């Protein structure tokens, strides 16, 4: 009973932070949930072979309602680039499907390495961001835009995040404001999380070593604990985002990204 209460408390705390980050950075909270889930699942004895996969799949399931809630809040403020979202409707889910096929064979260490490397590079870019790093003054057209959408869907699904860390970088490199990038990323999270969590259920179906309450690589106990909390606090994060300037958002998310990256690098040693 004591272990279960500690499990619930840790997951609930992660839900508060994830919900705030979903609204502030448009990231769906996965960058927080994945490392927290990984540690908590380890504390309750989940097999190392499936622990990271379970953390990623559970995170994607939680991002579904969180992204919907954040996207709606940003949309009401007129900040979402709907044209970009429409151009991603096929490309992003295609990347998600490819990632679920990879998930069925990749190791937990491999997933952690992918997570750490990508979020580290993004953190460096945001903290030391300079105008000279801008690639262009507007977003590219197809086919390049679709290729980017595919890569965002692929890597985000392997990381268990809503795509915000990658889409934010993509949009700001092409001259879009951080506020618009954050708002649009919440919509990208919807395109990633729905097929993503379904794919993780498929990839882990019937595997041994999964804890009670799991369907494939999704643990419903963790999901049901976190979803109500993230839905409640995500709108607060949106209000915080619109109260900050662009550089504050960049530095804040960059520092957070480096912290998460180092945590996973340590786990690989």
pLDDT at 238: 74
Q: What's the half-sphere exposure (Cβ side, CA atoms, 13 Å) at 240?
A: 17
Please state, as a whole number, how many other Cβ atoms lie within 10 Å of the Cβ of residue 266.
9
pLDDT at 124: 86
Across the chain, how many H-helices and E-strands are there?
11, 2
Beta bridge pairs of residue 169: none
CA distance linking residue 239 with residue 20, whole number of Å: 10
Q: Tell me the three state secondary structure of residue 269.
A: coil
pLDDT values of the chain reduced to their tens digit, one per residue, 269 residues:
666 677 777 777 777 776 777 667 655 567 777 877 887 788 778 888 888 999 999 988 988 887 887 788 888 878 788 888 889 999 999 999 999 999 888 888 888 888 888 888 878 877 887 655 677 777 878 888 999 999 999 998 988 877 777 888 788 888 787 778 878 888 888 899 899 999 999 999 988 888 878 999 999 988 888 888 877 877 777 777 777 776 777 787 788 778 878 877 887 87
Beta bridge pairs of residue 218: 215
pLDDT at 108: 82
pLDDT at 54: 92
Check if the beta carbon of residue 193 is closer than 8 Å to that of residue 28. yes
Give me the helix-helix angle, 144-159 and 108-127, nearest 10°.
120
CA distance linking residue 131 with residue 60, whole number of Å: 33
- Smallest CA-to-CA distance from 12 within 256, 230, 218, 236 is with 230
pLDDT at 3: 65
What are the start-end ranges of the E strands in the chain?
A: 214-215, 218-219
Number of folded domains that form the chain = 1
Domain assignment of residue 80, given as a range = 2-268
Single pTM value for the model? 0.79
Quote the tokens at residue 3: 């272990």
- Smallest CA-to-CA distance from 58 within 262, 215, 177, 191 is with 215
């Amino acid at each position: 009973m004591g272990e279960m209460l500690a499990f619930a408390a840790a997951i609930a705390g992660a839900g508060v932070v994830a919900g705030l980050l979903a609204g502030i950075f448009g990231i769906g909270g996965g960058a927080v949930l994945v490392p927290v889930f990984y540690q908590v699942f380890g504390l309750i004895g989940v097999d190392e072979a499936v622990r990271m996969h379970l953390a990623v799949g559970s995170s994607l399931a939680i991002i579904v309602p969180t992204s919907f809630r954040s996207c709606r809040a940003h949309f009401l403020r007129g900040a979402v680039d709907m044209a970009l979202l429409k151009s991603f409707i096929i490309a992003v889910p295609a990347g998600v499907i490819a990632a679920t096929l990879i998930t069925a064979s990749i190791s937990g260490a491999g997933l952690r390495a992918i997570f750490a490397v990508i979020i580290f590079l993004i953190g460096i870019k945001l903290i030391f961001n300079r105008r000279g790093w801008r690639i262009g003054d507007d977003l590219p057209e197809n086919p390049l835009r679709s290729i980017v959408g595919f890569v965002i869907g692929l890597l985000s699904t392997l990381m268990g995040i809503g795509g915000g860390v990658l889409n934010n970088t993509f949009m700001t490199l092409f001259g879009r404001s951080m506020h618009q990038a954050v708002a649009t990323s919440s919509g990208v999270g919807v395109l990633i999380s729905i097929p993503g969590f379904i794919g993780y259920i498929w990839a882990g179906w019937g595997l041994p070593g999964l804890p009670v309450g799991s369907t494939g690589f999704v643990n419903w106990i963790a999901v049901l604990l976190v979803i109500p909390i993230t839905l409640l606090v995500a709108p607060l994060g949106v209000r915080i985002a619109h109260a900050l300037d662009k550089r504050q958002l960049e530095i804040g998310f960059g520092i957070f990204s480096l912290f998460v990256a180092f945590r996973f690098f340590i786990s690989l040693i």
